[in-house]
Amino acid sequence: MCGDDAIRMAALEERVSALEDYRAVLETLRNYSRALDLGQESEWLECFTEDARFEVRSPLAGYPPPRVWKGRARLEEFVNAHSKPPAAYHKHVYAMADIAVDGESANASGYVLHLVGSESGPVMQAYGRYLDSLARGADGRWRIAERVAEIESSDMQQR
């Protein structure tokens, strides 16, 4: 292979690697929502690093104060207490992902819509955005090291 071909091949490999990382990060973010909505606690926990931090906060008047869960045991408490089918049906819809990978870490942000089932049909309970920091584990899998859920609108502020 001549020099120009080797340079083009290296550039192609770099672009493919970047696309693979982007896709793997996005898959972790999708798995989070899917596992939470289906009540798959162990799959949800696998989306996080062992020492991960998860915070829910909102600037809305009347919304509960910020809540933080840090570490595997606290995250497990959170997910075990979370509603799940068939007692409750909901969907955490993640959209407009903006992902930046830098070596073994990544940052992502995207919109979240929280839809819940009701007797009269689906209702949007809240919307906002997720702010995420991720890390690639020794096994090559991307996991959330920190997630901040910023709730921008919610029916909880009226409760």
pLDDT score at 1: 63
The tally of CA atoms less than 13 A away on the side-chain side of residue 78 is 18
What whole-number distance in Å separates Cα of residue 121 and Cα of residue 131? 29
Render 82-108 in DSSP notation, one character per residue: S--TTT--EEEEEEEEEEEEETTEEEE
pLDDT tier at 108 (50, 70, 90 boundaries)? very high
When divided into structural domains, the chain yields a total of 1
Task: Assign 79 to helix, strand or coil.
Answer: helix
Q: Is the pLDDT of residue 95 over 70?
A: yes
pTM of the full structure = 0.90
Domain assignment of residue 31, given as a range = 3-158
What whole-number distance in Å separates Cα of residue 10 and Cα of residue 26? 24
Q: Is the pLDDT of residue 8 over 90?
A: no
pLDDT score at 9: 79
Q: Is the pLDDT of residue 62 over 90?
A: no
Q: Is the pLDDT of residue 158 over 60?
A: no
pLDDT score at 4: 84
14 token code pair: 């770099």
Q: Domain containing 76 — which CATH number?
A: 3.10.450.50
What whole-number distance in Å separates Cα of residue 29 and Cα of residue 109? 10
What whole-number distance in Å separates Cα of residue 97 and Cα of residue 108? 7
